[in-house]
Amino acid sequence: MHDFQFVLKSYLIKMKGVSKAPPRPDKLEICLAAIGSCLAFIIIGLMHTPFFDKTGLPLLMAPLGASAVLVFGASRSPLAQPRNVVGGHVLSAVIGVTVYQLFGGAYPITSICVAVPSAIAIMHISGTLHPPGGATAFLTSYGGLGVHELGYWYVLSPCALGSIVLVLTALVFNNIHKDHQYPQFW
Amino acid sequence: MPGKRETDTAMATLNNSLTTEHRIKISEDDITEGMKALKAYIDITPTDFKKLYEIVYAFAKKRILHEILAEDIMVKPVYTVRQTESLYALISFLAAHKISGSPVVDDSGALVGVVSEKDILRKMGYGQDIHLMQLLAAMLEKPVALDTNSGMVKIDKIMTAPALCLNLAETLIDIIKKFDGKAINRLPVVDNNNNVVGIITRANIICTISNLF
């Protein structure tokens, strides 16, 4: 009984946390992150409208917003590097679309419960961990975002192309500041 | 390479020579300040950074202690004396070079022993283990306290032999181990032919370690 109490207490005490939050970056850093992501979505939005609307392949998808947080807001993070952004979205989309094809959208919760953990595992194994990839796997696995119509084309666009445009924008924009460098690795 | 247990013992000795509060420790406040100075957002908590730093520091310390070799820190050329020379010649030699001891070599240049102030004082103090200050104090009372007849004694009669020495490829941790717990101030470094090629003093070790910071 005493042991159980000790174990329970040790377990619960972990929930208090042990560290402080990292400091807030300076104002210039915050402004640059906002401007960079704005620029990226202007470019993606402009490309989306004339070219991709006609083809029926979208270039915009919600998980790219999450990617922009990392690519512009925490560009030094290993999670924000090109291989993670592009690889994370592509692999997660392949998993998501495959799960959708298997379950046919009939069991959305099951699809999500299979697709998201698989995406996490595959991204980890392939060294492409990118949190927005989880959102891509989530959305594609139950047939959202037009996956129902596009099938595996969805992997090409918006996942591959959208994330490539985001990375290219970051490549240009994040290297303008003399103290910034992107990527940290390829 | 030394055995793991030996290395760990020597590392423990090195660690014990520094009290906990003197050892380089970084606080989470230091890390937070460092993150602010970097200005960019780093997605790691100060606690994780500290843990990582401590692990990395331990690895780096171990690597450095095994990577720095005797040949990297030894002083050269070395002033050596021949075993056939006299005590007088030795004293003049040490005085001329302002050194307190020297490796002793044979005609081929191979190391046969070491000779230090302590060996000289022992000889000139009538065979007693006597410190310099004790000898000076005795001389103030009685100038004949110094055995001046021993001047022609050959160095090989007073030197310490066999000499403790280091090989060129011995690591910093091995060197520290050899000095540890012994009242020696210098160790000659020899090549594969036992020829003296350098010397390492306690001061060299202190300089090497202080240069790491």
For the segment B91-121, what is each residue's pLDDT rounded down to a tens digit?
999 999 998 889 999 988 899 999 988 888 8
Q: Residue B1: its pLDDT value, please?
A: 41
- B43/A25 Cβ within 8 A: no
Within 10 A of B96 (CB to CB), how many other CB atoms are there?
9
Q: How far is B63 from chain A (nearest CA, A)?
A: 26
The minimal CB distance from B42 to the residues A76, A79, A179 is found for A76
The answer to whether A29 contacts chain B (CB < 8 Å) is yes
Which chain B residue has its CA at the smallest distance from A29's CA? B40
Residue B15 has pLDDT above 80, yes or no: no
Residue B16 has pLDDT above 80, yes or no: no
Once rounded to an integer, what is the mean pLDDT over residues B69-96? 90
Within 10 A of A147 (CB to CB), how many other CB atoms are there?
22
Q: Which residue has the tokens 């000889």?
A: B123
Q: Which residue has the tokens 């020379």?
A: B85
pLDDT band for A172, please (50, 70, 90 cuts).
very high
Return d(Cα B63, Cα A23) in angstroms, integer: 32
The answer to whether A3 contacts chain B (CB < 8 Å) is no
> Which residues of B fall within a CB distance of 8 Å from A18?
45, 47
Strands, E assignment, chain B: 81-82, 101-105, 111-116, 166-167, 186-190, 196-201
- B40/A20 Cβ within 8 A: no
Which chain B residue has its CA at the smallest distance from A75's CA? B41
The answer to whether B46 contacts chain A (CB < 8 Å) is yes
The answer to whether A21 contacts chain B (CB < 8 Å) is yes
Size of interface A-B (CB pairs under 8 A): 47
How does B7-23 read in b/e, with b if 16+ C-beta sit within 10 Å?
beebbeebeeeeeeeee
Q: Are A179 and B39 in contact (CB under 8 A)?
A: yes
Return d(Cα A13, Cα A33) in angstroms, integer: 36
How does A86-96 read in b/e, with b if 16+ C-beta sit within 10 Å?
bbbbbbbbbbb
The upper half-sphere exposure of residue B201, i.e. CA atoms within 13 Å in the direction of its Cβ, equals: 12
Testing the interface with B: which of A14, A20, A69, A179 to mutate, by most B Cβ within 10 A?
A20
Q: Residue A69: its pLDDT value, please?
A: 96
pLDDT digits (tens, 9 = 90+) for A52-69: 666 666 788 899 999 999
Q: Are A149 and A100 in contact (CB under 8 A)?
A: no
- A25/B40 Cβ within 8 A: yes
Once rounded to an integer, what is the mean pLDDT over residues B58-84? 90
The answer to whether B36 contacts chain A (CB < 8 Å) is yes
Cα A181 to its chain centre, rounded Å, is 20
Q: Residue A128: its pLDDT value, please?
A: 96
- A79/B41 Cβ within 8 A: no
Return d(Cα A41, Cα A166) in angstroms, integer: 8
Return d(Cα A21, Cα B44) in angstroms, integer: 9
Q: What are phi and psi of B190, to 5 degrees?
A: -115, 155
β B111-116/B186-190 pair status: unpaired
ipTM for this prediction = 0.72
| DSSP state, residue A19 | S
Ramachandran class of B38: left when φ > 0, alpha when ψ lies in -120 to 50, beta otherwise: alpha
pLDDT digits (tens, 9 = 90+) for A106-138: 888 999 999 999 999 999 999 999 999 999 999
